[in-house]
Amino acid sequence: MRRTVRKLAQCFPTAIVSGRCRDKVFNFVKLTELYYAGSHGMDIKGPEKGSKYRKDGEESVLCQPASEFLPMIDEVYKILVEKTKSTPGAKVENNKFCLSVHFRCVEENQWSELAKLVKSVLHEYPELKLTQGRKVLEIRPTIKWDKGKALEFLLESLGFANCSDVFPVYIGDDRTDEDAFKILRERGHGFGILVSKFPKDTNASYSLQEPDEVMDFLQRLVRWKGNKYQ
């Protein structure tokens, strides 16, 4: 997959948008040619120097709209780590501009109690909001920013916001990716692809069942680009 994404980035501007901390995502992917949008798009950084998509003199960090919330995020993280110690399997992850409380390894009969515990902590922090992903509770600043806003920002930063000859494609498998799918549907230009083995209500236009199919799709895009200019 890494080789495929590297080849893709040589053909098209490519970004990874994740709920996880940007540094964690980069350390996993290890491709300097990409745009990385961590913390649900609240921490966006462009490619390293030398990339064909990075302009000379362009700053590396493009966007951090929630910087003022960092002290509060750290404070809530410490509280939640302490509070969730009594819930076996619970894991609190600090993603810099947001927090994730994972309950995939928590007994199902304890899920509701864990959610109540998290809500009780957030009751004292009205500037933070709680949403749910795949077996994870997401805690983010209440600013109007999500993966859809990150997608819009990237398109504008690249000068593609009003281009009729640029076709954005967004691939995702989480509930939080619906914000980006919705943006593309509302634009009427580009489309979202949901990765799921099961039918779901979605704003995506198409679907792929699993990561292997995603890789095959990306490889086809690379081949199409190569054939187009031969």
Domains delineated in the chain: 2-65+145-228 (3.40.50.1000), 68-141 (3.30.70.1020)
pLDDT for 58 equals: 56
Distance CA 6, CA 19 (A): 21
Q: Classify residue 51 by burial, with Cβ atoms within 10 Å: 0-12, 13-18, 19+.
A: middle
**Whole-structure pTM value:** 0.81
pLDDT for 133 equals: 85
Distance CA 141, CA 143 (A): 5
* CB-based burial, 140-149: b 16+ in 10 Å, e otherwise: bbeeebbbbb
pLDDT tens track of the chain, all 230 residues?
999 999 999 999 999 999 999 999 999 999 999 999 999 999 999 997 655 655 555 556 689 999 999 999 999 999 999 999 999 999 999 999 999 999 999 999 999 999 999 999 999 999 999 999 889 999 999 998 999 999 999 999 999 988 888 999 999 999 999 999 999 999 999 999 999 999 999 999 999 999 999 999 999 999 999 886 55
pLDDT for 134 equals: 84
pLDDT for 208 equals: 98
Q: Which two tokens stand for residue 216?
A: 């095959």
Distance CA 88, CA 50 (A): 46
pLDDT for 26 equals: 96
pLDDT for 150 equals: 95
pLDDT for 163 equals: 87
Distance CA 110, CA 90 (A): 10
Distance CA 209, CA 2 (A): 19
> Among all chains, which residue has been given the structure tokens 């954005």?
168
pLDDT for 226 equals: 85
